[in-house]
Amino acid sequence: MKSNKRMVKDNIFKHILLVSAVLGGLMIAFIFVFIFIKAWGVLSVSGLGFITETGFSEQIRDSYYLAAGEQTWFFGTKGLFIATLLTTAGALLLAVPLGIGTAVIVCEFSHRAIARMLSSVIRLLASIPSIIYGLIGLMVVVPYIKDSFISPELQIQYLYDPIMRMQLSGKSLLAGIIVLGIMIMPILTALTVDAIKAVPKSYKEAGLGLGISHWRVVTKILLPAAKSGLFAGIILAAGRGIGEAIALSMVSGGISNVPQVAHGGVFFLTPVLTLASAIVNKSEAMSVAAIESALFSCGVVLILTSMLFSLSTRLVERAVKMK
């Protein structure tokens, strides 16, 4: 009798999980289909030009003031796409070594009580809303960049630049990289801590028993054994970086420029606008059909970029495992 009841409960639980999985998959599919339908008006007209052409901010402005029958459905987000890639890549270059290094210190070189305290602080930092990071960046990082790297002469030079007129105010690509890097580092650190702790203790004990130094055990045994968790942390951190909107809207400038390498150090001081920030900044104009479709198209590019990044990271992980 008890065995039959247990089997019935197991079957009910299994079917609940199955229904939940199916509903979750349907919801995700519905979201994808809904976004693509909303974006089709602009994507069908713009094609690849949507990510290879510039002028998004000006096109949004022009569309907003055009009559309904005169709407243009061509938009170019090259500046937004490049800014998204640059801020995410720069943030990862900042967050990955610092995050992994912090995780190693917490797991291997800290007293147990201190490690527990640090782990709690890291998880607390990972849960702080992004607008808080944006506010701190606006009050601390942006003024520091303006006072340290931007002189009045430099401001005048680029304000009247014949090719790229822009105001250097501290809100820039560099500010976006710093704020985004600090924001995603706790997530990466927390996942790296979990990955290192998941490595069997026998690995470490075997290495120390062979006379290998503690540092070499960490770098040659523990981290390679935890590489799956490290890659998962990098993927999640990059996903948050690609989709971050509020904090970058506050510190990156909000202008769809394409930073020019020919400008030297001003490359990092250029105000930029990312795809996610554009959706937030331009959402007030969504009453216009073309602008609504353009913003949903930004969402499509964000989704595809995240998927491609996740896929490429998985391929790299698989290649590393095969070595």
pLDDT tens digits, one per residue of 190-246: 989 988 988 888 888 888 888 888 888 888 888 888 888 888 888 888 888 888 889
Residue 69, domain member (yes or no)? no
- Quick one: pLDDT at residue 214? 85
Instruction: Please provide the distance, in angstroms rounded to a whole number, between the alpha carbons at the two ends of the chain.
Output: 54
Alpha-carbon separation of residue 159 from 72, 154, 167, 274 (angstroms): 29, 8, 5, 21
Q: What are phi and psi of 168, to 5 degrees?
A: -90, 105
Query: Is residue 113 pLDDT above 70, yes or no?
Result: yes
Domain total of the chain: 1
Task: Write the CB contacts of 66 (distance below 8 Å, at least 6 apart in sequence).
Answer: 72
Asked if 275 and 255 touch (Cβ cutoff 8 Å), the reply is: no
Beta-bridge partners for 253:
272
Give the model's confidence band at 14: pLDDT under 50 very low, under 70 low, under 90 confident, else very high.
Answer: confident
What whole-number distance in Å separates Cα of residue 309 and Cα of residue 301? 12
What whole-number distance in Å separates Cα of residue 302 and Cα of residue 307? 9
Percent of the chain with pLDDT over 70: 94
Q: What are phi and psi of 272, to 5 degrees?
A: -135, 170
Beta-bridge partners for 272:
253
- Quick one: pLDDT at residue 204? 85
> 249: closest CA among 231, 230, 275?
275
Query: Is residue 72 pLDDT above 90, yes or no?
Result: no
Give the model's confidence band at 140: pLDDT under 50 very low, under 70 low, under 90 confident, else very high.
Answer: very high
Q: Which residues of 303-320 are buried (b: 16+ CB within 10 A; e: fewer)?
A: bebbeebeeeeeeebeee
Query: Looking at 110-119, 216-225, 234-243, 303-312, which range is the least confident one?
Result: 303-312
Residue 309, domain member (yes or no)? no
Residue 234, domain member (yes or no)? yes
Residue 203, domain member (yes or no)? yes
Residue 315, domain member (yes or no)? no
DSSP H helices, the chain, are: 2-46, 49-52, 56-65, 78-108, 112-126, 130-136, 142-149, 152-159, 173-197, 201-209, 214-217, 223-225, 227-243, 246-251, 266-269, 275-281, 289-322
Residue 32, domain member (yes or no)? no
- Quick one: pLDDT at residue 253? 87
Give the model's confidence band at 110: pLDDT under 50 very low, under 70 low, under 90 confident, else very high.
Answer: confident
Task: Write the CB contacts of 135 (distance below 8 Å, at least 6 apart in sequence).
Answer: 250
- Quick one: pLDDT at residue 67? 64
Query: Looking at 158-172, 185-199, 299-313, which range is the least confident one?
Result: 158-172
Q: What is the mean pLDDT of the chain?
A: 86
Residue 95, domain member (yes or no)? yes
Q: What is the CATH number of the domain that holds 217?
A: 1.10.3720.10
Query: Looking at 24-38, 153-167, 212-226, which range is the least confident one?
Result: 153-167
What whole-number distance in Å separates Cα of residue 93 and Cα of residue 99? 10
User: What is the pTM assigned to this prediction?
Assistant: 0.88
Asked if 286 and 38 touch (Cβ cutoff 8 Å), the reply is: no
Provide the residue range defining the domain that includes 263.
78-281
- Quick one: pLDDT at residue 206? 86
Residue 82, domain member (yes or no)? yes
> 84: closest CA among 218, 296, 273, 297?
273
Most confident of 152-166, 243-257, 301-315: 243-257
